[in-house]
Amino acid sequence: MIHVGIDVGGTFTDVVIFEVGKGENHNPKIDIIKVQTTKNLEEGIIRALAHYENKSSDVALITHATTVATNALLTRTGLARCALVTNEGFRDVLEIGRQRRAELYNLHNKRPEPLVRRRDRFTVAGRMLSDGSELEPLSRSDLRKTAKKIIRERFDSVAITFLNSYANPKHEKETEKILRKEGVRAHIDLSSQVDREYREFERMSTTAVNSCLVPLVSEYLARLEIALRKKNFRSPIYVMNSDGSASTIEHISKYPIFMIESGPAAGVLASREIGRSLSIEKIITFDMGGTTAKAGAVIGYEPDIAYEFEAAGKMHSGRSIKGSGYAVRAPFIDLAEVSAGGGTIAWVDEGGVLKVGPLSAGSDPGPVAYGKGGNSPTVTDANLVLGRLGPEGLLGGKLPLDRELAHGAIRKFLSEKLRIGVDEAAQGIIRLANNSMARAISIVSVERGRDPREHTLVAFGGAGPIHACDLAEELGIASIIVPLHPGLFSAYGLLTADLQRNFSLPVLKNASEVDAEDYFAELRASAASALRKEGEFKQYNSREYVDLRYRGQSFEITIPYEKGKDLTSIFGERHSELYGYSSDDPVEIVNAKLIAVVPTAKAMFSMKEAGPHASTRRRDSAHRRVWFPTGYLEASVLSRDLFEPGKEGGGPCIIEEYDSTTVVNPGWSWKVDSYGNLVLKEQRAGSSQ
């Protein structure tokens, strides 16, 4: 049985093949394929899978993550030409938005250009009230005129968003029927189906984003499915959602808003599986790649989930800048992200101060040490100069690193301007990058009332294990896990996702005045009906939640729902936990939510037997001079490819492998566990673990 995870990025397409043979004790075979991303994304995928065409009948599952939606929004290329139909007098809601300035003190600050131009927004008479009653009937004559304009202008899609349609979607449904009757053939989205929650701007923006993405995403996924079927890959094809769940191609083609942030979610899912395998309930995830570093949290085997983000927005110090992107109300794994990757560029500002980021050298030309024409010193160049990376580089020596080039670039562009030595400048780069990444980890831990010292750090990404010990020491974390193949760990997470559907109903009433069970009964019926239509998804598990707030508050807290439980007291406890106080004010139920989870076959971590020689033999290792935060030391250089479960040792040392390097600081021990993970423990006096 073979599971395939496909992660399509802007530069490379990564494919992870997880093959399990027959027999209970058969260890899985993991194959990694990396090819350059092609203009037609499906062509790169087919090329990567060429070696497995003769085993296509053994493939049981293909799970896919892609940046196609994110890139389209960032570059505004490939998006559908969308028309918006809304109430008379509310044409500009999409552009007015919320009073959020991305740059508070910039008098020339500009909002992102609306996805739907003003001349493409059409209004019609008709109005529903917030209680769902009709104040003014829908104008059919207005709609007929609008239909003619939509047909004449040949729009690709239409977003219909009326006020209070969350309470009563009657006008939206009537509008769709009339447009179809008048001959509109474009894709049509109803806000009451895309995002049935109150707040008209967020609902309108989410629907507009979805409508702009549907043609692009649906056409790409259709091409991918056809291409795979032609090569006899007949297994189900799932697409990763932003919240770490998965959807069928059919579902995500209709609702691409759920996959915009799918890429970063996968590594958090893989970390969750490590937590389950090792019974670790408090995990901080640390993913450092070529351009950014991301931190997340998995508590009680569940990642932090947020329900609104700004697609194609900007980040600052790990936080999303409000007002810099397009508001989307959809669940996603909440991560803090900073511009600190291996390719992040170091530079000196006009005041003579060393800076790291936000610009990145990317993969082409990449860090100076790659020898591909780059001349801006990066974090990777600094690690190489300081001995933390070896000249063999990555990918089994296929990506060698030139230390002399890196040294020369740091000298020319940094040390000469700063009037310091090259080593001192390189150390400054590492310290600044570490400070930035430590802030990201603090956002998902300290700022959310969590003590990082009580958590285990799971470090992955090509550069994550290099900096893991430094960050752990700064934050007081005494336990680190570096998984197998950390540079491709996120792709493994694709193979651990369940199918999921999200259903919600607006309530907007005091908890004391309504029985929440009535709303959940309706949600359960809706979920059962929707999944029954999809045939194979009759069996599912439900998770139920309520959005609660004190009456008069602007935003709500999501808590699990259990029949018969006192929602008011549970909300008070949670509010006090988050904000340090609770109130006697009435508690309002904003939304009732149901998540239907369809369990799927997954790639699982397997235990391995320890070899006959588990202890590290120093004479088998090389040595080199390496800089650590405490200074330069002579460190052993070990090959992880030769490690077996039970093998152990201590720092200072460097552990190299195909796709990453782990720097083990002095005062840390390491051991290979039964799953092949590298487990690092701080051994200094006063350690909390």
* Distance in angstroms (rounded) separating the CA atoms of residues 270 and 490: 7
Same domain, 87 and 131: yes
Asked if residue 504 belongs to a domain, the reply is yes
Per-residue pLDDT tens for 37-83? 777 889 989 998 988 988 988 998 899 998 889 889 988 899 999 99
* Distance in angstroms (rounded) separating the CA atoms of residues 666 and 589: 53
Same domain, 655 and 586: no
* Distance in angstroms (rounded) separating the CA atoms of residues 53 and 51: 6
Domain boundary among 565, 598, 631: 598
Range of the domain at 83: 74-213
Per-residue pLDDT tens for 592-650? 999 999 887 777 666 665 444 344 433 356 899 999 999 999 999 999 989 999 999 99
Asked if residue 569 belongs to a domain, the reply is yes
Same domain, 625 and 572: no
Asked if residue 393 belongs to a domain, the reply is no
Same domain, 120 and 172: yes
* CATH number for the domain harbouring residue 106: 3.40.50
* CATH number for the domain harbouring residue 561: 3.30.1490
Same domain, 22 and 115: no
* Distance in angstroms (rounded) separating the CA atoms of residues 210 and 229: 27
**Is residue 272 within a helix (H) or strand (E), and if so which, with residue range?**
helix 262-278
Same domain, 129 and 79: yes
Per-residue pLDDT tens for 370-424? 998 999 999 999 999 999 999 987 767 778 999 999 999 999 999 999 999 999 9
Residue 251 burial by Cβ neighbours in a 10 Å radius (0-12, 13-18, 19+): buried
Any alpha helices (H) in 534-615, and if so which ranges? Answer: 567-579
Say which DSSP state 463 is in: S
Same domain, 121 and 207: yes
Residue 323 burial by Cβ neighbours in a 10 Å radius (0-12, 13-18, 19+): buried
pTM score, two decimals? 0.87
Asked if residue 271 belongs to a domain, the reply is no
Asked if residue 667 belongs to a domain, the reply is yes
What φ, ψ does residue 147 adopt, rounded to 5°? -60, -45
Positive or negative: CA dihedral 330, 335, 339, 341 = negative
What φ, ψ does residue 496 adopt, rounded to 5°? -120, 5
pLDDT for the residue 688: 43
Asked if residue 143 belongs to a domain, the reply is yes
Same domain, 33 and 134: no
Per-residue pLDDT tens for 471-511? 999 999 999 999 988 988 888 888 888 888 899 999 999 99
Here the tokens at position 669 are: 């021990």
* Distance in angstroms (rounded) separating the CA atoms of residues 209 and 438: 33
User: Can you spell out the DSSP letters for 21-78?
Assistant: -SSTTPPPEEEEEEEEPPSSHHHHHHHHTGGGGGGGGGEEEEEEEE-HHHHHHHHT-S
The number of folded domains in the chain is 4
Asked if residue 172 belongs to a domain, the reply is yes
Same domain, 188 and 252: no
- Please provide the distance, in angstroms rounded to a whole number, between the alpha carbons at the two ends of the chain: 40
Domain boundary among 186, 213, 240: 213
Same domain, 66 and 104: no
* Distance in angstroms (rounded) separating the CA atoms of residues 248 and 571: 35
Percent of the chain, pLDDT > 70?
Answer: 93
pLDDT for the residue 611: 46
Asked if residue 312 belongs to a domain, the reply is no
Per-residue pLDDT tens for 648-674? 999 899 999 988 999 999 999 999 999
Domain boundary among 228, 262, 296: 262
Same domain, 191 and 227: no
* CATH number for the domain harbouring residue 63: 3.30.420.40
* Distance in angstroms (rounded) separating the CA atoms of residues 483 and 506: 42
Same domain, 189 and 242: no
Is-contact 34 14, C-beta < 8 A? yes
